[in-house]
């Protein structure tokens, strides 16, 4: 067993590895970029070493810097986590050369499976079923176009050197192939350092089912059953579960046998995942991930095993644990990935600080894996995942019910999230019935992501407005009480914040902005500490108390439990399982704001790097035309013209970093209407 390991990763997976290492009595050394100097994994590890600036290529992707940190820390082994260098054969070799054990497969296996083209060739020899496709060396357009024609449209373009959805494109028509190949190759080079592509026949409604594989140095290879990862956006998984619903036992056995054959074919050691597409009773090899998967937690929940512990044991030369010979499926587990992103804007990543963060309480049947804390920043440098929520149940309905309940208890303020989308997926009848395939979100987009926000019912409107006003009144009372304590006469009537007047009823007026509408309210103080709130033609009686659990708001004698988060002049009202409502307190005496021209300007929605400029100065463009390609958070974002006009200036060049809100294209004044 190792005495100290270095974790060459960050965030959730770094925290995950640290926790297992600590339980095993192994000291941990973390690494961090300048952007992560105050990150959760840095605080959790026994020690942490700086490895460079925020860009991943200068820190988490720098083999030299990480190996140097391992040497200086005196680490005996390196755990690569997932992403970054976890599937980099050069990194595994550099670790061995430095006398540090790489907790992962041999470099040769990484190379074979890291190239999707070579992997498919090996699988073909091992009689593992393959989709019709092209995985040859020729990458010129005529060769790829001919291959696509032979396969038949639609075809799927994939990056040979990586995964996670980067470099993937669906092409429906031959006319769209050249542009898609160019875009996919560019994104693949940026993400993985290689623009090599392969083509596959695109299946319209397949399931994505993967087998968790484990092998040791003594020739033992086992399957830890399967996971269904069909619910995806941008080709990236957001909900995973184990075992796969309604999977025929014979199909499960055949897939496990094929996965084991794949592992043996490459001389595999450690944790790996063989991914298949399933269509009816047929399955096809897709790729092999030579690392631990993000979704490994659901496998742990149904087997009772710690896969990180298995990784460490195997890397130290031990045989697979004795439990590997008697594995069985116990119950069902479902995982939901919580991201800082805006599903309503094509899943655009969201950057900002986690002003407020509350997670559901963990227990044996509910698990939260996270690498962030309240106050942390979600930046543009790395993956925007906030956490994974995993629920276990005796069967799938029990696990689903537990996950839905726990998901509703999340409270996040400061960034947009996919919490609403996850809740909508879990509540969808087809999902509950086990109707899973990779096109689920696209097929049910209108139901899962309604184009217009639903109107808030009048009763909920009253509740939200009352909560916001009571929060302000409570703050005012607290400030007045604190000021009174500082005065020589704490009992002075001037220290009372109840709007007391000598003649007539005292009241306070408020002006709130909610969804672009101005809402005036008047609050009358009652003798018992209660308030009568008047807005429009309605009047409600309200009292409130607040503590760590949130606000208990009694409205016309009915008690409601919610939370109000203060963020400057904003009041964020959080109700269990509902969309956060943001209200802004306005100064009624402030002059009217000037006209905002943001809707007619092309601005950067998040910080990123410009990878392509599709127009030049003087070009006339139509509204919706593609103008700029921005790379941020491991993905390419194509930004379109907000209106028709003539391009007068391009302030930034290809390769330049831009901040959120930067104006990327300027239009000639005469084109504005």
Domain locations along the chain: 4-103, 132-201, 205-330, 333-452, 458-585, 598-671
Q: How confident is the model at residue 164 (pLDDT cuts 50, 70, 90)?
A: low
Taking each continuous run of H as one helix and of E as one strand, the counts in the chain are 17, 39
CA 500/CA 521 separation, integer angstroms: 18
CA 159/CA 167 separation, integer angstroms: 5
Query: Do the first three CATH levels of 205-330 and 458-585 match, i.e. the same topology?
Result: no
Would you state the CATH architecture of domain 458-585? 2-Layer Sandwich (3.30)
Catalytic residues: 291
pLDDT value, residue 497: 58
Would you state the CATH architecture of domain 598-671? Beta Barrel (2.40)
CA 400 from centre of chain: 20
CA 529 from centre of chain: 44
CATH topology of domain 4-103: Rossmann fold (3.40.50)
Query: Residue 353: enclosing H or E segment and its boundaries?
Result: strand 352-353
User: DSSP string spanning 448-466?
Assistant: HS-SSPPPPPHHHHHHHHH
Answer yes or no: is pLDDT of 486 > 80: no
As a three-state string, the secondary structure of 207-240 is EEEEEEEEECCCCCEEEEEEEEEEEEECCEEEEE
pLDDT exceeding 70 applies to what percent of the chain?
94
CA 354/CA 214 separation, integer angstroms: 37
pTM of the model: 0.84
Quick one: angle between helices 11-23 and 307-315, nearest 10?
Answer: 70
296 compared with 477, residue with greater pLDDT: 296
Q: How confident is the model at residue 595 (pLDDT cuts 50, 70, 90)?
A: very low
CATH superfamily ID and name for 333-452: ATP-grasp fold, B domain (3.30.470.20)
CA 350/CA 342 separation, integer angstroms: 7
Please compute the mean of the pLDDT values over residues 544-561 and round it to a whole number: 95
CA 323/CA 304 separation, integer angstroms: 10
Counting Cβ atoms within 10 Å, is residue 285 exposed (0-12), middle (13-18) or buried (19+)?
buried
CA 655/CA 645 separation, integer angstroms: 25
pLDDT value, residue 672: 41
b/e burial code for range 603-630 (CB count within 10 A of at least 16 → b):
bbbbbbbbbbbebeeeeebeeeeebbbb
Model confidence pLDDT, tens digit, residues 542-551? 999 999 999 9
Would you call 81 helix, strand, or coil by DSSP? coil
Answer yes or no: is pLDDT of 56 > 80: yes
444 compared with 669, residue with greater pLDDT: 444
pLDDT value, residue 165: 74
pLDDT value, residue 450: 84
Counting Cβ atoms within 10 Å, is residue 461 exposed (0-12), middle (13-18) or buried (19+)?
middle
pLDDT value, residue 659: 85
Reading phi first (left if > 0) and then psi (alpha if -120 to 50, else beta), residue 286 is in alpha
450 compared with 534, residue with greater pLDDT: 534
Residue 524's DSSP bridge partners are 507, 532
| CATH of the domain spanning 132-201, picked from 3.30.1490.20, 3.30.420.40, 3.30.450.70, 3.90.440.10 | 3.30.1490.20
Answer yes or no: is pLDDT of 28 > 60: yes
CATH topology of domain 205-330: D-amino Acid Aminotransferase; Chain A, domain 1 (3.30.470)
pLDDT value, residue 439: 93
Residue 557's DSSP bridge partners are none
Residue 6 and residue 46 in contact, taking contact as beta carbons nearer than 8 Å: no
């Amino acid at each position: 067993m190792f005495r100290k390991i270095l974790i060459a990763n960050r965030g959730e997976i770094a925290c995950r590895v640290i926790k297992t290492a600590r339980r095993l009595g192994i000291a941990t050394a973390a690494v961090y970029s300048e952007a992560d100097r105050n990150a959760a994994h840095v605080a959790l590890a026994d020690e942490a070493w700086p490895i460079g600036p925020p860009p991943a290529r200068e820190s988490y992707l720098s083999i030299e810097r990480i190996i140097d940190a391992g040497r200086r820390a005196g680490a005996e082994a390196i755990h690569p986590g997932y992403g970054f260098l976890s599937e980099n054969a050069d990194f595994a070799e550099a670790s061995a050369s430095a006398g540090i054990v790489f907790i992962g497969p041999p470099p040769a296996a990484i190379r074979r499976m890291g190239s999707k083209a070579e992997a498919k060739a090996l699988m073909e020899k091992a009689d593992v079923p393959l989709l019709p496709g092209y995985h040859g060396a020729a990458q010129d357009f005529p060769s790829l176009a001919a291959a696509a024609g032979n396969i038949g449209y639609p075809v799927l373009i994939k990056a040979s050197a990586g995964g996670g959805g980067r470099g993937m494109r669906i092409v429906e028509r031959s006319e769209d192939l050249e542009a898609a190949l160019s875009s996919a190759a560019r994104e693949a080079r940026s993400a993985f350092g290689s623009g090599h592509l392969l083509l596959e026949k695109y299946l319209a409604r397949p399931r994505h089912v993967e087998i968790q594989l484990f092998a040791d140095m003594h020739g033992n290879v086992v399957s830890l059953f399967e996971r269904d990862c069909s619910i995806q956006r941008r080709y990236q998984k957001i909900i995973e579960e184990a075992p796969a619903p309604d999977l025929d036992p014979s199909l499960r056995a055949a897939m496990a046998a094929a996965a084991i054959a794949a592992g043996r074919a490459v001389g595999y050691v450690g944790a790996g995942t063989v991914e298949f597409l399933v269509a009816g009773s047929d399955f096809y090899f897709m790729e092999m991930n030579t690392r631990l998967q993000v979704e490994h937690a659901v496998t742990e929940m149904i087997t009772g095993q710690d896969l990180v512990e298995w990784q460490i044991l195997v890397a130290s030369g031990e045989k697979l644990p004795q439990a590997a010979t008697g594995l069985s499926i116990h119950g069902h587990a479902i995982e939901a990935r919580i991201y800082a992103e805006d599903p309503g804007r094509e899943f655009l990543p969201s950057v900002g600080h986690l002003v407020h963060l509350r997670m559901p309480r963990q227990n044996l049947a509910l698990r939260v894996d996270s690498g962030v804390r309240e106050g942390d920043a979600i930046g543009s440098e790395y993956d925007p995942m906030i956490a994974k929520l995993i629920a276990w149940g005796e069967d799938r309905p029990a696990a689903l019910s537990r996950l839905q309940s726990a998901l509703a208890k999340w409270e996040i303020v400061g960034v947009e999230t996919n919490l609403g989308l996850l809740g909508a997926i879990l509540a969808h009848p087809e999902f509950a019935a086990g109707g899973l395939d990779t096109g689920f979100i696209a097929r049910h987009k209108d139901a899962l992501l309604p184009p217009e926000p639903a109107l808030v019912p009048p009763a909920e409107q009253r509740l939200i407005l009352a909560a916001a006003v009571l929060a302000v009144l409570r703050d005012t009372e607290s400030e007045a009480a604190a000021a009174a304590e500082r005065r020589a006469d704490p009992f002075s009537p001037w220290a009372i914040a109840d709007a007391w007047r000598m003649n007539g009823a005292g009241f306070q007026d408020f002006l709130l902005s909610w969804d672009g509408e101005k809402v005036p309210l008047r609050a009358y103080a009652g003798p018992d500490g209660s308030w009568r709130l008047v807005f429009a033609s309605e009047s409600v009686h309200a009292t409130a108390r607040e503590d760590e659990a949130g606000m208990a708001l009694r409205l016309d004698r009915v008690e409601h439990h919610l939370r109000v988060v203060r963020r400057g002049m904003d009041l964020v009202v959080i109700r269990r399982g509902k969309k956060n409502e943001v209200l802004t307190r306005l100064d009624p005496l402030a002059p009217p704001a000037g006209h905002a021209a943001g809707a007619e300007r092309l601005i950067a929605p998040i910080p990123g790097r410009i990878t392509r400029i599709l127009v030049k100065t003087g070009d006339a463009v139509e509204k919706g035309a593609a103008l700029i390609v921005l790379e941020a958070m491991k993905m390419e974002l194509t930004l379109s013209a907000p209106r028709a006009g003539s391009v007068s200036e391009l302030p930034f060049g290809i390769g330049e970093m831009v901040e959120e809100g930067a104006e990327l294209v300027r239009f000639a004044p005469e084109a504005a209407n």
